[in-house]
Copies of this chain bind each other. A is one copy, B any other.
Amino acid sequence: VSEPLCFINGDFIPASQAMVPVHDLGVQRGYCIFDFLRVTQNVPLFCNDHLERFYRSAKEMRLTLKQSKEELKTVIGQLIQKNQLPDSGIRILLSGGASPDGYQLVQPALAIIQQPLTPPADEIYQNGYTLVTYPHQRQIPHVKTTDYLMAIWLQPWMKGKGGDDILYQQNGIVSECPRSNFFIVTQSNTIVTPARNILKGITRKQLLEIAAANGFAMEERDISIDDIRRAKEAFIGSSTKRVIPVNRVDDIEFGPCKDDSVTSRLYDLFFQKEKQAIHDAS
């Protein structure tokens, strides 16, 4: 098996040789942003949306890219061409660079890596995820930083609680999962998702558009634990996982996903949109 190539500081090199200086602020101080997009049938899905967000993250963190969006898009295309990993993930990282004093930002370092991606097992789309809530608010939440310290630290705790993923909450208001957005469906079939203190996902953006185009009622507002208790359905959305139903949040049971549920219809509509995107790109 030949190993995939990465794009790092302007060169395509084998993944195992892709290195960053130990003095880089991404290593020393966790000062690093990224974006992650799914590749299906060699098509980088919703690539423009991901690049838009990546450049917004970079600007917010005062990291100045030498490359334009179009240039990055070309590099991503080259990487896909060279690696031939039709079902994979592409991660674009931008860190503060190798700072002489370990604190001042310097010329940022760019790395783009591609790795095979195993999709979630089919039964997960039926049985759903169990979420366990944890009191935490991500810092600078609107920026896609590499800060996943809490998420990784909580893994054994989460597994001990029987959870498949964590749902962050603060003072009874939930925000997001570490790598996906959270949604509920009310008794009157309104889809609700938090509007603040979160990272706005690209799948979330697509689902909002799908809901608007297909006559679903949709609200972006705070969700309390009581709102979840009163809800009919709950689900999460992410670039890797599309739409996954939630079967339980702490002690609140939803059970497996029904074929006529809003979650199920949204999944189908999202899958169609993805197919259209693949078709348009081919």
Contact B22 A27 (CB under 8 A): no
Contact A61 B153 (CB under 8 A): yes
A6 contacts across to B, CB distance below 8 A = 22
Residue of A61, A145, A152 most packed against chain B (CB within 10 A):
A152
A27 contacts across to B, CB distance below 8 A = 20, 24, 26-27, 32, 93, 95, 146
Interchain CB contact (< 8 A) of A62 among B105, B140, B145, B156: B156
CA distance A151 to B31 in the complex (A): 10
Contact B152 A22 (CB under 8 A): no
Contact B23 A15 (CB under 8 A): yes
Contact flag A8-B22 (CB < 8 Å), given A32-B27, A61-B153: yes
How many A residues face the partner with a CB closer than 8 A? 47
A29 contacts across to B, CB distance below 8 A = 146-149, 151-152
A28 near B: Cβ within 8 Å? yes
With both chains docked as a complex, state the minimum distance between the C-beta of A111 and any C-beta of chain B, in angstroms.
Answer: 5
Per-residue CB contact flags for chain A residues 1-43 toward chain B (1 = under 8 Å, else 0) read 0000010100000011011111111111111101000000000
A139 contacts across to B, CB distance below 8 A = 136, 139, 149-150
Per-residue CB contact flags for chain A residues 86-126 toward chain B (1 = under 8 Å, else 0) read 00000101011000001111000001010100000000000
Kindly report which residue of chain B lies nearest to residue A146, judged by CB atoms: B30
Contact flag A150-B140 (CB < 8 Å), given A20-B20, A22-B111: yes
CA distance A153 to B30 in the complex (A): 11
List residues of A whose CB falls within 8 A of some B CB. Answer: 6, 8, 15-16, 18-32, 34, 61-62, 91, 93, 95-96, 102-105, 111, 113, 115, 136, 139-140, 145-153, 155-156
A–B Cβ pairs within 8 angstroms, 19 of them? A15-B23, A19-B22, A20-B21, A27-B27, A27-B93, A28-B91, A28-B148, A29-B146, A29-B149, A30-B146, A30-B149, A31-B149, A62-B156, A96-B152, A102-B115, A104-B155, A136-B139, A140-B150, A147-B147
